[in-house]
Structure 1
């Protein structure tokens, strides 16, 4: 719901929340918590209020845009795999458990799969991002990165077999099956929706997209089963955003990310 100027219109927020089954009191409590956490500032009262995203909140949104663009670029064959595996290893003592847990979460967030204690792998270049995270956590000297084209795990060397062994592809595929079904239903609903319903469907679609894609390492097609459900689900979402692109939606930042990524698919 964050607009291009980093604000949220409270009236739109209350309207969308109501369609999603939330009461005004629930929305007020959520706003109060977000302000208390320092994620937004608040100006005005009730439905006439404006929420302003803080610098920290705005910065946290940008990786989502990069992730979205990469997913669609890979789906349309603009990003290929060079056969190189990227590995990262860390050794953080128990006394610094918080940093150890944080670097582990960062490695998984960036698509890494654990091979053994403290060693993670991905087919995508991640050295710069992971190094920045480790440096921020104060454990930059405890991180090792390396690449190889000769990876063996449990005696498996075939790349697609390795991917199936290292990542929970069945569970990831199930999430995309749900996204595909939701996108197909949304496309039908959009064609007769009111402006508020369109906005609500757009927000719900973005949420469903995140639920399916967040645990997805976005493996290259070379490592995935043929006709991978993830690409088909994202294509269905793209159809919805093409429909939404013709609607008079407010200037919400998330919508721009999707419409730009979808426009690049067709070259528009």
Structure 2
């Protein structure tokens, strides 16, 4: 895998909607004054924020009480339930990084043959399989080294296509002339592109860690801004990552390095105890995993 140079601007590009979602607190509200402060720090205009709030209100996802920066935004359950990290997958990433989830050599395959009359469902199942880390072996046949059957079953049930799926596992996978699992992984997944995303995350996280460990104490709005930037960059790097086991990846793997720096950032943020009660619910989801990782790392062998 070729090493790629990653240029990272000091400012992390974040869609306005993602910012609004990131600012939802545990009580399903958003403090507009904090929202506008963080938006300004990220280079967004007040007009951008107002338009996004209006869009979400028109969708019935937000109710605004008050005006401008003094407003309180009440967030509907549909939006609250749709945001935040998938804690189960984040935990699995860190388990892989510390060697607690070794690969057993089993490949998991799923094939589908959904009729043309249900093209929408066919596209949906393909997209769902790819989002679970699957790679196409050939038309309609996808593979993953991870045990994904419960997620495949949930996807098939939701789309009502279980009758069109075939599942199997094997320890003897050959793709073309490739037999080595590591060679197969390099062929099926765009590892260079995935690695570049993690290299960017590592650089972004390191610059934020330098700020968090600087003797100059950051203000609450500055720390909120760092939190949102880290979460957005982590999502950007993680979404295309199939979470291949270390046994199939070039070493050292940038994802492992990036997540270590990210955990250090989250640990620094968690030390701001006086602010934790007011921080977004998204932060607490990440913090729960980092606490577990830290506890495992500190435990005696």
Place the TM-score, normalised by the shorter chain, in its bin.
over 0.9
2:219 counterpart of 1:194? yes
TM-score, with length taken from structure 1? 0.93
Residue equivalent to 1:129? 151
- How big is the shift at 1:252? 1.6
2:288 counterpart of 1:263? no
2:125 counterpart of 1:97? no
1:109-188 equivalence runs, <5 A: 109-188=131-210
> 2:65, 2:121 → 1: CA distance?
36
Please give the secondary structure, in 2, of the residue aligned with 1:68.
helix
2:104 counterpart of 1:82? yes
RMSD: 1.7
In the alignment, is the contact (CA less than 8 A) between 1:76 and 1:265 conserved in 2? no
- How big is the shift at 1:57? 2.4
2:266 counterpart of 1:241? yes
> 2:97, 2:294 → 1: CA distance?
12
- Range 187-196 or range 164-173, more displaced: 187-196
- How big is the shift at 1:63? 6.0
> 1:104, 1:52 → 2: CA distance?
35
Q: How many residues align?
A: 268
Q: In 2 relative to 1, CA 35–94 (structure 1 residues): closer, same or farther, beyond 3 Å?
A: farther
> 2:281, 2:26 → 1: CA distance?
5
Query: Which consecutive residues of structure 1, in runs of 5 or more, have no partner in the other structure?
Result: none
Q: In 2 relative to 1, CA 63–117 (structure 1 residues): closer, same or farther, beyond 3 Å?
A: farther
Query: Which consecutive residues of structure 2, in runs of 5 or more, have no partner in the other structure?
Result: 1-22
Q: In 2 relative to 1, CA 244–36 (structure 1 residues): closer, same or farther, beyond 3 Å?
A: same
In the alignment, is the contact (CA less than 8 A) between 2:85 and 2:286 conserved in 1? no
Residue equivalent to 1:203? 228
> 1:99, 1:107 → 2: CA distance?
12
TM-score, with length taken from structure 2? 0.84
> 2:57, 2:168 → 1: CA distance?
42
Encode CA deviations 1:24-70: one digit per residue, 9 max, x unaligned.
11101111212333443433332233333333323323662222122
1:58-73 equivalence runs, <5 A: 58-61=80-83, 64-73=86-95
In the alignment, is the contact (CA less than 8 A) between 1:65 and 1:257 conserved in 2? yes
- How big is the shift at 1:188? 1.3
- How big is the shift at 1:88? 1.1
Query: Which of 9, 25, 28 is 1:3 aligned to?
Result: 25
> 1:153, 1:72 → 2: CA distance?
29
Q: In 2 relative to 1, CA 52–143 (structure 1 residues): closer, same or farther, beyond 3 Å?
A: farther
> 1:120, 1:53 → 2: CA distance?
38
- How big is the shift at 1:111? 0.6
2:35 counterpart of 1:13? yes
Query: Which of 276, 281, 286 is 1:253 aligned to?
Result: 281
- How big is the shift at 1:107? 0.6
